[in-house]
Amino acid sequence: MRRSLGLLIIPVLSLTLLSGCWNRIELNELAIMVAMGIDKSDDQYVVTAQVVNPGEVAAKSVGAGKTPVSTYQETGSTLLEAIRRVTTIAPRKLYGAHLRVLVIGEELAKEGIGKVLDLLSRDQELRTDYFIVVAKGTKAENILKVLTTLETIPANKLYASLETSEKAWAPTKTITLDELIADLVSKGIQPSITGVQIKGDQKTGESKKNVEQIEPDSLLQYKGISVFKGDKLIGWLSEKESKGFNYTQGKVNSTIVEVPCTEGSEKKVGIELIRTKANLNGTVQNGSPKGTVQIRAEGNVAEVQCKKLDLTKTKTIDQLEKKVEQDIKGTIEAAISKAQEEFEVDMFGFGEAIHRSNPDFWKKVKKDWNQQFVDMPVEVKVDMKIRRIGTIGNSPLNKIK
């Protein structure tokens, strides 16, 4: 009996040591931040927080005509100070666990993003699965003030649009905090981040009028991939060059390649790539580094503007495959040429490939690898296969007089 009583007392006494939810905060005491913009003004950080207005986005709620989000902005000599200063104007404390997008202003990116990433990686409240983008030609605060259609919360639009365009178009890339830091600390690859710009009138985009018409006056559009040297932005790739970069990284899931019907023709054949696979290697030959990029691609004929193009013939398909191979090869070579001749940085990861294949050589060159990369020859090989020609054979254009 005494033994049973003793066994009962022990767990009861243990319960008194439990602290419970000592740091809990009720939902109605928090401002849920879904996007954050960081700029630099003189020596001060400027933080812009995009916060959800719960009453306007609730599924069955009839709102009072307010915007679905609000933005709050403050400055500080450190990033944390600026975030905490927001409490002087916001009715609730910012809660960042649901952050979807981090927008970095272009001027801040040129100055360096290393100090910004320290707080973001150190804060236990923030998750690391949000996307990071750079405001192209504008400030991060301007990006977060534009209201969007279809997705009522602009941060969700930015997140979904980047994810979708990477999968379906290819000149953009998603990158999370962990991935960005890994590129920053690596000697064999330089970081790269997708840019976002405002298309149209910014002032109208900040008002509810922007989402109350069929064609909004202001849109948020992803444009190009930024190139970094260390933690500083040094330039931008064009749309074509951005796609070429993504080919080398094996990140082209699907896209469209247009090739001319005949040499010099303005009429095109559209080929939809349905999958690609990239193999990027670095070797050492006669004491010098050499890079190779091998691409295997598969696609379908999606659109034909040509007359007298017989898709039922094997020869025609072979010719189209060769044209697509040349197009992909040229796109990749344009990106590599831009990186070597203008930026002089290895954003592709050839250094990491050489580190894996020849560690001894890498130890000798890693300190000045970017200079080694500038003079390194890179061979590009593409193997393209067209699998299907669609639900029809030859184009109806052949029968139109």
Q: What angle do CA 121, 126, 128 make, to 5 degrees?
A: 65
| pLDDT for the residue 264 | 81
How many other β-carbons are positioned within 10 Å of the β-carbon of residue 73? 18
Specify whether 251 is located in the same domain as 342: yes
Task: Kindly indicate the confidence band of residue 30, based on its pLDDT and cuts at 50, 70 and 90.
Answer: confident
Assess if residue 6 is contained within a domain: no
45 pLDDT higher than 60: yes
| pLDDT for the residue 58 | 65
Q: What is the DSSP string of 10-39?
A: HHHHHHTT---STT---GGGEEEEEEEEEE
27 pLDDT higher than 90: no
Specify whether 91 is located in the same domain as 209: yes
| pLDDT for the residue 401 | 61
Pairing of strands 268-285, 255-260: antiparallel
Q: 180 is in which domain, residue-wise?
A: 26-237
Average pLDDT over residues 53-81: 81
Question: SS3 breakdown of the chain: % helix, strand, coil, rounded to 5?
Answer: 40, 30, 30
E-state strands within 106-217: 131-135, 192-200
Query: pLDDT tens-digit profile of 181-231?
Result: 999 999 999 999 999 999 999 999 999 899 988 999 999 999 999 999 999
| pLDDT for the residue 5 | 62
What percent of the chain is predicted at pLDDT more than 90? 79
Whole-number Cα distances in Å, 100 to 159, 162, 337: 6, 11, 34
Assess if residue 327 is contained within a domain: yes
- Name the domain count of the chain: 2
User: Worst-scoring range by mean pLDDT, 27-31, 117-121, 127-131, 323-327?
Assistant: 27-31
| pLDDT for the residue 389 | 92
Specify whether 225 is located in the same domain as 303: no
Specify whether 306 is located in the same domain as 165: no
Assess if residue 18 is contained within a domain: no
Specify whether 218 is located in the same domain as 264: no
Task: Kindly indicate the confidence band of residue 263, based on its pLDDT and cuts at 50, 70 and 90.
Answer: confident
Assess if residue 218 is contained within a domain: yes
Specify whether 224 is located in the same domain as 348: no
Instruction: At 36, list the tokens.
Output: 């954050």
Assess if residue 19 is contained within a domain: no
| pLDDT for the residue 394 | 77
Mean pLDDT of the chain: 91
Specify whether 95 is located in the same domain as 223: yes
Compute the chain's Rg from CA coordinates: 26
Task: Kindly indicate the confidence band of residue 25, based on its pLDDT and cuts at 50, 70 and 90.
Answer: low
| pLDDT for the residue 224 | 97
Specify whether 193 is located in the same domain as 243: no
Average pLDDT over residues 376-394: 93
Query: pLDDT tens-digit profile of 96-143?
Result: 999 999 999 999 999 999 999 998 999 888 989 999 999 999 999 999
Average pLDDT over residues 16-42: 78
Assess if residue 16 is contained within a domain: no
Q: Which of 208, 237, 266 is the last residue of a domain?
A: 237
20 pLDDT higher than 90: no
| pLDDT for the residue 24 | 62
Start-end of H helices in 262-349: 314-338
Specify whether 233 is located in the same domain as 247: no
Query: pLDDT tens-digit profile of 144-165?
Result: 999 999 999 999 999 999 999 9
89 pLDDT higher than 90: yes
Average pLDDT over residues 61-84: 86
Assess if residue 385 is contained within a domain: yes
pTM above 0.85, yes or no: yes
Specify whether 244 is located in the same domain as 306: yes
Assess if residue 159 is contained within a domain: yes
The CATH number for 369's domain is: 3.30.300.210
Q: What is the DSSP string of 372-388?
A: HHHT--EEEEEEEEEEE
Q: Which of 237, 271, 286 is the last residue of a domain?
A: 237
Specify whether 228 is located in the same domain as 209: yes
Specify whether 131 is located in the same domain as 217: yes
Kindly report the backbone phi and psi dihedral angles of residue 137, in degrees, each rounded to the nearest multiple of 5, phi listed first: 75, 15
Q: Which of 187, 203, 237 is the last residue of a domain?
A: 237
- Residue 168's contacts (CB-CB under 8 Å, 6 or more residues apart) are 253, 254, 255
Average pLDDT over residues 318-345: 98
